């Protein structure tokens, strides 16, 4: 069977799409933001993503260090005065995943259909907030170090060229302008990435003070279980320093979906999800021999758990890197090697056409790149994943749990949520991390059904004061794609400071949900798929199953649904 790395490289080659040499934009406005951060930006033409001509969009770069330029794309809130709306930043995980995933696959104002056409997302989170999508750290997505003319080899290497001429030996469509892949020009750990994220916010807020006057909220997923707690604790620490020329960022909310918080807990959750006590889809994937191997690889002397504890005890990069590689290949990837199912949605076989990723080709069109002022092609740059891998960041808890406690002590809302069909950062591991936080009163809270405007029960929440854990039914890793209405209402409730259960009650100190200590609802396996789906399949969020094909349902999807050509997934938590 091909190795995991080989599969990633094959996926990268299959999903790269056509690239081209990108002429440097000449119309970017240059300003100095807060904290002295230079910002270059332009207004994005209507129809590029947001289809309402009355709703403005801007994109640009924060020049956070020499040869480190972080790309951002901002959208005004719909249906309200954006100068009075809250501001929410969204980042994806990886490490090395672009936030264009969140924008186009999940919760942004638009998606791209099977035919490459932009369509409106009626469930965009910009319905209730200004939205800022950031590609971080440097070299992720449209962020870049040094733009170079190059071609991309079949194994994923960027090979520089003397000029903007594509040689005959380069693979068709592989030549273009890329960010020079240098691991010294990006972050190599969660902690190391936090300062440039803060600088990006300072730059944007200084360039656009009218969008930064009110409450600030942070949302993320996947490796965001590392990013979210650490980055926001850093923001609070910077606020306390009274830095001249810097803005105090009034952080109110942190939302983390299917997060990777604590590897010691969450590597064990792979066993919990597949073997005991198992998932709620009544799917027991392994025979007795595989179950025995899985258990020994995880708990046997000197194996995964012991290695993770050694990483925690020593803090040495090589120890942590070795621990993560052992656990990834011999624990996590048992699922992939045996089952051929999508780690991000156990209901589907691979290749999985959900969420829709057709936007990756759109992002590499000259028209789109000119519209947003891009300096390079859009890429899933493996350099960031390599840099983090060198320090074993994935195997480290990085203080995430303690940082969540710190944020709660500052009266900041922390809402953790998880789609229950995801294996990669599964809800059992997220639930265990939530319990480890031990927020005041959380051990006395219980699970209750979430009430939504359409009277469908999409999941359950356990909440104590400003801390909550929410399980979303029939959802893979990217919850807003699978359950768009529920995720939008969840988001709105959380940033308004209301209870997750109903959205009607402002959360006060002492608020508790009352119910059983565990969420025990079982769907059964009626939505499990047993055949590989075609690339033009659609997803029906009402039936929680594949719908027809795009040819049959294009108009319906334009109105009400919200994926993917098959692509590489940088880092361990590649979304």
Q: How many residues does the chain have?
A: 575
Task: Answer yes or no: are the C-beta atoms of 466 and 413 closer than 8 Å.
Answer: yes
> How many Å apart are CA 571 and CA 5, to the nearest integer?
10
pLDDT digit string (tens) for 350-404?
Answer: 999 999 999 999 999 999 999 999 999 998 768 999 999 999 999 999 999 999 9
| pLDDT score of 559 more than 80 | no
Residue 466: per-residue pLDDT: 98
Residue 155: per-residue pLDDT = 83
Annotation marks residue 422 as catalytic: yes
Tokens of 63: 């020049």
Any catalytic annotation for residue 222? yes
Nearest CA to 420 out of 275, 256, 543, 258 is that of 258
Residue 250's pLDDT is 95
Distances (CA, A) of 12 to 153, 188, 347, 444, 478: 10, 22, 23, 47, 20
Residue pair 536/114 in contact (Cβ under 8 Å)? The answer is: yes
Distance separating alpha carbons of residues 346 and 476, to the nearest angstrom: 8
Give the pLDDT band (50/70/90) at residue 14. very low
Catalytic residue (choose from 477, 487, 499, 561) = 477
Per the prediction, the chain carries an average pLDDT of: 93
What's the half-sphere exposure (Cβ side, CA atoms, 13 Å) at 562?
32
Quote the CA–CA distance of 568 and 565 in Å, as a whole number.
10
Q: Which helix (H) or strand (E) holds 90?
A: strand 87-91
Percent of the chain at pLDDT > 70 equals 93
For 42-94, the pLDDT digits (tens) are 999 999 999 999 999 999 999 999 999 999 999 999 999 999 999 999 999 99
Band of the pLDDT at 570, cuts 50, 70, 90? Answer: low
Q: How confident is the model at residue 571 (pLDDT cuts 50, 70, 90)?
A: low
Q: How much is the average pLDDT of 328-345?
A: 96
Contact between 114 and 565 under an 8 Å Cβ cutoff? The reply is: no
Helix axes 304-314, 317-327, angle to 10 degrees: 160
**What's the whole-number mean pLDDT along residues 18-40?**
94
| 464-477 tens-digit pLDDT | 999 999 999 999 99
The pLDDT of residue 173 is 87
Q: Name the catalytic one among 342, 345, 422, 499.
A: 422
What pTM did the predictor assign? 0.94
- Please check whether residue 322 is in contact with residue 330, taking contact to mean a CB–CB distance below 8 angstroms: no
Residue 1 has pLDDT above 70, yes or no: no
* Residue with token string 């959205």: 503
Task: Sort residue 503 into left (φ over 0), alpha (ψ -120 to 50) or beta.
Answer: left
Domain limits, the chain: 19-145+182-282+347-533, 286-340, 537-568
pLDDT above 60 (res 562): no
Write the DSSP assignment of 515-538 as a string of letters. Answer: S-SS------STT---SPPPTTEE
Provide CATH code, domain 19-145+182-282+347-533. Answer: 3.40.50.1820
Asked if 21 and 164 touch (Cβ cutoff 8 Å), the reply is yes
Which one from 222, 380, 468, 519 is the annotated catalytic residue?
A: 222
């Amino acid at each position: 069977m091909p190795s995991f790395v080989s599969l990633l490289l094959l996926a990268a080659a299959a999903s790269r799409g056509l690239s081209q040499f990108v002429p440097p934009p000449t119309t970017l406005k240059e300003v100095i933001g807060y904290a002295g951060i230079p910002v270059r930006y332009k207004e994005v033409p209507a129809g590029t993503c947001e289809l309402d001509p009355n709703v403005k969009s801007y994109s640009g770069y924060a020049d956070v260090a020499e040869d480190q330029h972080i790309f951002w794309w901002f959208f005004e809130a719909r249906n309200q005065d954006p100068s009075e709306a809250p501001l929410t930043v969204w980042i994806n995980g990886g490490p090395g995943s672009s936030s264009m995933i969140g924008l186009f696959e999940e919760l942004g104002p638009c998606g791209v259909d099977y035919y490459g056409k932009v369509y409106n997302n009626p469930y965009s989170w910009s319905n209730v907030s200004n939205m800022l999508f950031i590609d971080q750290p440097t070299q992720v997505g449209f962020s870049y170090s040094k733009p170079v003319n190059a071609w991309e080899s079949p194994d994923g290497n960027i090979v520089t060229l003397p000029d903007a001429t594509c040689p005959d030996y380069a693979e068709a469509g592989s030549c273009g302008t890329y960010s020079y892949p240098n691991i010294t020009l990006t972050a190599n750990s969660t902690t190391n990435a936090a300062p440039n994220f803060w600088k990006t916010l300072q730059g944007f807020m200084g360039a656009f003070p009218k969008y930064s006057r009110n409450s600030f909220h942070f949302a993320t997923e996947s490796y965001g279980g590392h990013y979210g707690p650490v980055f926001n604790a850093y923001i609070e620490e910077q606020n306390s320093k009274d830095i001249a020329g810097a803005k105090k960022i009034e952080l109110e909310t942190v939302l983390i979906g299917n997060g990777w918080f604590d590897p010691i807990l969450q590597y064990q959750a792979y066993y919990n999800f597949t073997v005991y006590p198992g998932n709620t889809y009544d799917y027991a994937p392994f025979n007795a021999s595989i179950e025995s191997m899985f258990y020994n690889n995880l708990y046997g002397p000197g194996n995964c758990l012991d290695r993770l504890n050694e990483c925690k005890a020593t803090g040495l990069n090589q120890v942590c890197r070795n621990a993560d590689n052992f656990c990834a290949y011999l624990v996590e990837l048992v699922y992939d090697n045996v089952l051929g199912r999508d780690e991000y949605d156990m209901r589907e076989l691979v290749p999985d056409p959900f969420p829709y990723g057709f936007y990756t080709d759109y992002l590499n069109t000259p028209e789109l790149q000119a519209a947003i002022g891009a300096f390079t092609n859009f890429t899933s740059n493996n350099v960031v994943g390599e840099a983090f891998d060198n320090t074993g960041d994935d195997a480290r808890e990085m203080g995430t749990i303690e940082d969540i406690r710190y944020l709660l002590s500052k009266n900041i809302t922390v809402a953790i949520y998880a789609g229950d069909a995801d294996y990669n950062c599964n809800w059992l591991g997220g639930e265990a991390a939530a319990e480890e936080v031990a927020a005041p009163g959380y051990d006395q809270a219980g699970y209750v059904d979430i009430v939504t405007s359409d009277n469908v029960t999409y999941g359950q929440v356990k909440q104590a004061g400003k801390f909550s854990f929410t399980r979303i039914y029939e959802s893979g890793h990217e919850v807003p794609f699978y359950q768009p209405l529920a995720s939008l209402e969840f988001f709105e409730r959380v940033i308004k400071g209301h209870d997750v259960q109903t959205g009607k009650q402002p959360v006060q100190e002492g608020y508790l949900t009352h119910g059983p200590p565990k969420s025990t609802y079982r769907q059964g396996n009626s939505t499990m798929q047993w055949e590989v789906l075609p690339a033009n399949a659609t997803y029906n969020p009402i039936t929680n199953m594949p719908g027809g094909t795009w040819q049959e349902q294009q108009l319906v999807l334009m109105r009400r649904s919200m994926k993917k050509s098959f692509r590489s997934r940088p880092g361990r938590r590649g979304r």
